[in-house]
Structure 1
C-alpha cells in the first residue's frame, strides 16, 4: 500500500512539473492575426490586427515585439509592448520596403531576457504599383515579339531549309546545344547560384529554355560565320520552342516551382505558346499570298530583332530602375555565365564533331544568344506579382552581358585584319624597293 502511495506521489509530481514547464509554445501562448497575409505596395503602410493570449501564469508581465523575417522587404516599428494581463489586442503598422515576400512574427521577451518566436506568423507580400509606363512596356514587348514572329514566318525559306537538312550535322549540333545543353546549364547554374532564391533561379531557367535570339544572325554576319546555317538554326529553334519550352518548364522546371512552393501556371504558359503560333501563321500566310509584302518583311527581320534586343535593354532599364537594386554578384555571374559558357561549350562540341570554323562560330553564337524578349514576356505573362517583377532581372542581366564577348571577338578580328593589311603593305613596299 505504501509503495502504491509512493509511486502515485512520484507520478503526480512528474505530471505537475511537466504541466508547468513542459508546455509547448502553442500551449503557453498563442498569436492570432486577423489576416493570414497582407499585400502592400512599396513605400506604403498597412495596419494588421494582432491578438496575443497567455496560458502560462509565469509569462504574465512579459513583453513582446514584432520582427520582420526580411527587413529589406518589410519593416515593423522596433518597439516593445508590455503584457500586464493574460491577453493583448491591437493594431500594428507594417511598411512595404521592396519587392518580395516575408513574414512578420511575434517575439516574446521573458523575464530572464530569453526570447521565444511565435509559431504563427503573418505572410507579407510587397508589390509595385502598376504605372502607365509598365503597361506600355509589357504591351510593347508583346507587340515586338508578335512582329518578330510575323516577320519570321514571312522570311521562312523552305528551300534553304531543305538544302541544309540534307546534311543536318550542323543543325543537329545546334539543336542539341539549344534544346539540351542550354536548359540543363541554366538549371544547374541557377541551382549553384540561387538555391535559396527561387525567383532568380526561375528567371534564369526561363531564359535558358527560350528560343535563340534573332540577333544571332546579325552577329554571325558581323563575325563572318555561316549565315545560312545560322538562319536554319534560328528557324528550327523558334519552331522547336513551341514544344520544348513547355516540355522543359513542366518537367525540370517543375522542381523549381516545387522548391519555392509555387504552382505552375499551366494555363498561362499554354496560352503563351499558342499566342506565338498565331503571328507565325500570319507570316507564313503573307509569304504564300502576298509575296511582295513578304519580301519587305524579310528584309525587316534582322532590324526588328536588333530593335527588340536594344529596346529590352534600354526600356527595361529606364522603366524598371529597381532592377539595379536587385543586382548582386550572383546575378552578374548568372548574366555572364549562361551565354559565355554556352559559347565555349557549343564551340567545343562542334569542333569535336569536326565542323569547320565558320560553322562552329555560327553554332556557338546561335546557342549562346537567347531571345530575352520571349523570356521577359513569358515571365510577365505567366507569373503573378511580385514574382513577375523579381524574375525579370535575370533576362535583363543576360541581355546586357551576352554581346560583350562577341564585341571583344569583333575587335580581335579587326586588330588581326589591320595587322595583316599592314604586313601586306610592308611586303609590297619591300618588293618595290
Structure 2
C-alpha cells in the first residue's frame, strides 16, 4: 500500500503490556507473517531521533473476517514511552504494510523494537526484534576525570608523606610481615572473593563479573590511608602497604588478567594500561618522598599539616569521591540489588578475612586493623581505568561502572559506621605505640624544633 504517514514511535519501559491476552504459537493467527526493519541493528545517541523503515508482510489470516492489529513497542526504558498500533484496515490485499517510524533515544543502554500481533485476546510475538544500542552523550572527556582524580590522590599522598616516621617505616620494611599480609590479601584473597561473588550474583553477565573482579584487585589508594588516620591505625604500615601494592600491581595485574581473560572468560584481548599504572605508582612514590622532605627541611609547613591533617584529608577525600561520582552519576540508574549485595559483601568479607589472617600471624591489634582497612577500602579510580582499557564496547562500559563506584562508596560508608560505633563506645583510642595520634605527633615535632640550636 506504499508508505503511510510518518508515525512517531516513543518507546519505554513496558514490564507488563497492560493488555489481557494469551500468548499464541507463532503462525496460528495469521500465517507465517514476517517483519523487515531494513537493518540488523540501530545505534543512537541519547536525545537523538532516527527513522526506522518498518515492513510487515505475509499477513494471511486463516479467517478473512478475523479482526487483528499490530503493536510496535520497546520493553526497555532506553527510548520514549508510547506504542504504535497498526490496524487491519491499513494492510493491502497482499497482507503488507510499510511505514516510517521515528525512534527517539532517552537513556543509554540496550533495547529492542518489538512487534506483536493481537487478535481476539491472543498475542503472537515476532521472534527477531530490532536490536537498538543507545550511547551516552558525553559532556566531559574521560581523561579529564582520570587526570584530576589522580592529581587529588597525589595531593593526598603528599599530605600523608609529611607524617611518616622514617625509623618505624624502616622497621616495617626490614621485617615485612605486615606488607606481605597486605600483598596476599590484595592480590590473592580479594580477587578470589571478587571472582566468586561475581559468579554468584551475575552467572551469565561476564562484564559485571569483570567489573567486580577489577574492583577487588585494584590497590586501595589514599582513601585507605585516610581511614587508618581516623581509626588510630598504623599510618606507616598503611602507606607502606599501599605503595608496595601499587608497585606490585605492575606484575600481578597482567598475571591475573591473563588467567582471567583466557581461561575464565575465554577472551584473550583484555589489556593492562601499563603506562597509567606505572606512572601512577611513580608519582605516588615521588609525592611521598616530597612529603618526607618537607617534614625534614620545612618544619613550619609540616607543623600546619600536622594540626590540620584530618580536615585536609577529609577535604581531599570528598573532592576525589565527589568528582568521580559527580561525573559518573548516570551509573546509579543501573543500581540493582545485586550491585548492593556486591558493594556490601566484598569490603566486609575483605575486612574479616584480612583481620583473621593478620591475627593468625600474630600481628598487633593496630596492625591487624590497619591491614583490614587496607583490604576493605576499595579503590574507585583504578578499576574504572582498567575497564576503560578492556574490550568492552559502549554502552556496556558505562553500564558496568556502577560496580566499582558503588562498591567504593559503600566501603567508605561502612568505615564511617565503624568509626561512629568506635567513637560512641569509646574504642577509638590508640592501642599501642604504632597507633596514629596527631596530638602526640605535634608534641614530638615541636619538641624537636625547640631542641634545635
TM class, shorter-length: 0.7 to 0.9
Alpha-carbon distance in structure 2 between the residues aligned to 1:285 and 1:347: 30
Confirm or deny that 1:214 pairs with 2:222.
Answer: yes
Q: Is 1:31 paired with 2:35?
A: yes
TM-score in terms of structure 1 length: 0.73
> Alignment partner for residue 70 of structure 2, among 51, 56, 64?
64
> Which structure 2 residues correspond to residues 11-410 of structure 1 after superposition, within 5 A?
28-54=32-58, 58=62, 63-68=69-74, 70-75=75-80, 77-81=82-86, 82=88, 83-84=91-92, 85-109=94-118, 113-132=121-140, 136-141=144-149, 143-144=151-152, 163-195=171-203, 199-252=207-260, 266=270, 269-270=271-272, 272-281=273-282, 309-380=317-388, 382=390, 383-410=392-419
> CA, structure 1 residues 282+237, in 2 after alignment: closer, same or farther (shift >3 Å)?
closer
CA distance in 2 between counterparts of 1:177 and 1:286 reads 25
CA contact 2:231–2:428 (8 Å) conserved in 1? no
Instruction: Note the alpha carbon deviations across 1:283-312, whole angstroms, 9 max, x for none.
Output: 667999999579799989x99986664234
* Number of aligned residue pairs: 389
Flag the structure with larger Rg.
Answer: 1
> Which whole-Å CA distance do the structure 2 matches of 1:408 and 1:387 have between them?
33
- Kindly provide the CA deviation profile for residues 190-209 of structure 1, in whole angstroms up to 9, marking residues without a partner as x: 23333455554443222112
Change (3 A) 1:296 1:75: farther
Does the Cα contact within 8 Å between 1:286 and 1:293 map onto a contact in 2?
no
CA distance in 2 between counterparts of 1:255 and 1:307 reads 43
Shift of 1:345: 1.8
1:297-329 CA-to-partner distances (Å, cap 9, x unmatched) read 9989x9998666423432334344433433333
Tell whether the 8 Å contact from 1:286 to 1:294 is kept in structure 2 after alignment: no
Give the Cα separation in 2 of the matches to 1:59 and 1:199: 48
8 Å CA contact 1:170, 1:229 repeated in 2: yes
Q: TM-score, normalised by structure 2?
A: 0.70
Q: What runs of 5+ residues in structure 2 fail to find an aligned partner?
A: 1-24, 430-453
Q: Work out the CA distance in 2 between the residues paired with 1:31 and 1:225.
A: 65
Q: Secondary structure at the match of 1:101?
A: strand
- 2:103, 2:264 → 1: CA distance? 30
Instruction: Output the aligned Cα RMSD.
Output: 4.4
Q: Which residue in the other structure is 1:9 paired with? A: none
- Counterparts of 1:345 and 1:326, CA distance in 2: 29
Query: C-alpha displacement at 1:418, in angstroms?
Result: 8.8
Aligned counterparts of 2:289 and 2:415: Cα–Cα separation in 1: 36
Deviation at 1:365, TM superposition (A): 0.7
